[in-house]
């Protein structure tokens, strides 16, 4: 028995490793994708005032912070039964598009593309964004410019480029001024050309790597995403599940997610494994994210992304292979830029009616302790990596009593695990495992753009021995944990 370990999996967000078990004959007997961290947001939200949730939860993830910020605000709306004004909804949607532009371009250009442009077998010391800058500085500059557009939207509309703050219960804290809109619009319009140039580089890669698309992490699963009457949708709408052939399995109000989705714990990973309740585990495995959304959508409501969608469908139909997540991500990148232009050109975006106030005063925290009043709100959106659920229950004063989060990446956990195992079995024979082959296993994981900070919520260790060193004043100068 021999074990191959790939640790840390690099060019992903968070800590994970792959283990591959070999039998004495040199064949793979088992392999797993392990997520190595957990932080416990669900618990430590308890006791916080509900209005703090949209400011605490972005710290789950610094790549998709805006998605957490907005879904959290949506959940707080639901707790108080507030309907944000139209302008506020549009501002949130615009901020979310800023999130997509940043996250999708970050993932494709900075994390994923080095495998495709420099090659899976290229020198691992060069196979990264710095190598990309050296090899193709124009492409690297274009990547930087594209991502910058997303960060500028988030910064102007969300207040900060990382961990935005403007989505609050009932709406937004700050309107978009016409000067701000006029400053953003030409920059975002420029993004259309930038994404087009990116596609010129990217599209041939999918031809070049047609074999890898077939062989890396192949799997057939159900898919799930929000939908807007069949159109691609990130912010609202019922959740739709389809089977591996594309047939609709269910469509439901995502705030009833507990009737449809369950999570399993495996002893070797801190990330849980969600599955469709009615089919059980593992038959109910489903995937989310760009590929799921493109598979589920029967149209994209912007011109260029719609044309790309048509090409993709003609070529791949109901797409299952993980590497096609990259392609779907680029289609969504185009949609996000086009849709952001559309929202910025709509005068409703600079409206000043941006918040619906509480309809009745909050109960005091003392009164709440003696009352059994409970409020609950579920927020659901499509984050860049897939469907994201925040579910809060509060007392009468709006102090959080319970929180449950199901993040996008978790829903791809089982597919990543199976993909790594099956590919390892097919590709690894004998003791010699090249660096390039190990990297191909990582490429499966990378294709899903996993966000492991998101996926991991905390825990206990053994009591350590603590040695405190105090100075002569009694002030602690050093604490050593042994």
| Pick 95 or 295: Cβ nearer other proteins | 95
Does residue 330 have a known ligand-binding role?
no
Beta strands 167-168 and 386-395 are unpaired
Nearest to 334 by CA among 294, 277, 382: 294
Asked if 390 and 376 count as a contact pair (C-beta separation under 8 A), the reply is no
| Pick 52 or 86: Cβ nearer other proteins | 52
Residue 460: CB minimum distance to other proteins, A? 3
| Pick 402 or 425: Cβ nearer other proteins | 402
**How many CB atoms are closer than 10 A to CB 24?**
8
Does residue 457 have a known ligand-binding role?
yes
| Pick 319 or 407: Cβ nearer other proteins | 407
Residue 19: CB minimum distance to other proteins, A? 7
Does residue 42 have a known ligand-binding role?
yes
Does residue 258 have a known ligand-binding role?
no
Does residue 132 have a known ligand-binding role?
no
Does residue 61 have a known ligand-binding role?
yes
| Pick 247 or 463: Cβ nearer other proteins | 463
Does residue 291 have a known ligand-binding role?
no
Residue 438: CB minimum distance to other proteins, A? 9
| Pick 161 or 290: Cβ nearer other proteins | 161
| Pick 163 or 297: Cβ nearer other proteins | 163
Angstrom CA distances, 159 to 93, 166, 437, stand at: 15, 6, 44
Angstrom CA distances, 53 to 148, 217, 273, 278, 406, stand at: 27, 37, 24, 31, 15
Residue 69: CB minimum distance to other proteins, A? 11
CA atoms within 13 A on the CB side of 274: 25
Residue 320: CB minimum distance to other proteins, A? 26
Residue 161: CB minimum distance to other proteins, A? 6
φ, ψ of residue 280 to 5 degrees: the values are 75, 180
Residue 124: CB minimum distance to other proteins, A? 4
Binding residues for Mg(2+): 42, 405, 457
Binding residues for Ni(2+): 61, 64, 451
Binding residues: 42, 61, 64, 405, 451, 454, 457
């Amino acid at each position: 028995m021999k074990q191959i370990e790939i640790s840390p999996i690099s060019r992903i967000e968070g800590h994970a490793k792959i283990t591959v078990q070999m039998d004495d004959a040199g064949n793979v007997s088992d392999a797993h994708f392990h997520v190595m961290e957990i932080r416990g947001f669900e618990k430590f939200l308890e006791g916080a005032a509900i209005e703090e949730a949209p400011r605490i939860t972005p710290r789950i993830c610094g790549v998709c912070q805006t998605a957490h910020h907005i879904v959290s605000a949506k959940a707080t709306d639901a707790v108080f039964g507030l309907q944000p004004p139209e302008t506020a909804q549009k501002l949130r949607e615009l901020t979310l598009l800023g999130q997509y532009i940043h996250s999708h371009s970050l993932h494709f250009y900075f994390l994923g593309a080095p495998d495709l442009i420099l090659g899976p077998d290229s020198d691992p010391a060069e196979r990264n964004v710095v190598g990309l800058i050296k090899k193709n500085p124009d492409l690297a500059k274009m990547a930087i410019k594209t991502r910058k557009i997303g960060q500028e939207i988030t910064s102007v509309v969300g207040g900060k480029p990382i961990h935005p703050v403007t989505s609050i219960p009932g709406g937004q804290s700050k309107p978009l001024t016409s000067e701000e809109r006029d400053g953003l619009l030409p920059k975002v319009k420029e993004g259309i050309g930038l994404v087009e140039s990116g596609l010129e580089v990217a599209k041939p890669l999918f031809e070049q790597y047609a074999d890898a698309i077939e062989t890396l992490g192949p799997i057939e699963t159900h898919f799930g995403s929000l939908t807007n009457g069949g159109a691609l949708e990130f912010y609202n709408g019922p959740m739709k599940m389809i089977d591996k052939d594309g047939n609709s399995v269910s469509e439901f109000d995502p705030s009833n997610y507990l009737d449809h989705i369950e999570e399993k714990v495996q002893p070797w990973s801190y990330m849980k494994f969600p599955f469709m309740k009615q089919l059980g585990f593992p038959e109910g495995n489903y995937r989310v994210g760009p590929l799921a959304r493109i598979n589920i959508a029967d149209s994209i409501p912007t011109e260029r992304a719609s044309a790309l969608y048509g090409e993709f469908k003609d070529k791949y139909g109901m797409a299952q292979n993980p590497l096609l997540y990259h392609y779907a991500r680029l289609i969504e990148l185009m949609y996000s830029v086009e849709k952001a232009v559309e929202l910025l050109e709509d005068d409703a975006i600079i409206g000043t009616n941006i918040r619906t106030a509480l309809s009745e005063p909050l109960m005091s925290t003392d009164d709440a302790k003696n009352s059994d009043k409970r409020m609950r709100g579920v927020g659901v959106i499509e984050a860049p990596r897939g469907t994201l659920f925040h579910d809060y229950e509060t007392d009468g004063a709006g102090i959080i009593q319970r929180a449950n989060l199901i993040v996008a990446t978790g829903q791809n956990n089982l597919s990543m695990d199976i993909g790594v195992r099956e590919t390892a079995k097919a590709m690894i024979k004998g003791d010699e495992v090249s660096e390039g082959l190990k990297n191909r296993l990582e490429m499966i994981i990378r294709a899903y753009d996993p966000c492991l900070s998101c996926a991991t919520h905390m825990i206990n260790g053994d009591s350590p021995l603590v040695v405190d060193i105090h100075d002569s004043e009694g002030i602690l100068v050093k604490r050593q944990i042994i």
